[in-house]
Amino acid sequence: MKIKQVKQTKVFGTEIRTNLKNIYQHVKVLPETITNEMNQKGFTCEGPQVWIYNGADGNPDTEFDLMVGFPVAFDKMDKQITALEDFKCATTIHKGDWANFPQAYCAIIGEITQNGYQMTGECREVYHKIDFENVENNLTEIQIGVK
């Protein structure tokens, strides 16, 4: 676990209300829809896709807000662009299948509490490498907001 400060960024994306039980129906589909909308509007992706969770607590039935987006140039404006504020977070890199996220989250949350930090309720996942055919190649940065 590392503590880092993620600088403010802008993302072109979509916000939905969902829960962990139903989240997999949005994998691949939602990012493809967003990418198509970006292309139609002439925006260029400036980094890996980001999933931002607000209010997720690990319970499969708990409803939470989920923003899925892609970083865009800071000078761009559109109704689908959201400015993400600076974000202090505990971070870890998860290699492999997303089905193992629960173990990765448990490990980093344990380290957060062990080191005296409090979680803010916002988590982000930055998908540096996505490989649907060979999931062991996935590379995801898990970021948990702390104070």
For residue 25, pLDDT over 90 is answered with yes
pLDDT tens digit sequence for 57-75: 999 999 999 999 999 987 8
CATH number of residue 11's parent domain = 3.20.80.10
Mean pLDDT of 28-56: 96
Q: How far apart are CA 39 and CA 37, in angstroms?
A: 5
Q: Of 129, 13, 6, nearest to 68 (Cα)?
A: 13
In terms of residue numbers, what domain contains 139?
2-146
For residue 96, pLDDT over 80 is answered with yes
Domain total for the chain?
Answer: 1
* Report field, pTM of the whole predicted structure over 0.85: yes
**According to the model, what pLDDT value does residue 28 have?**
93
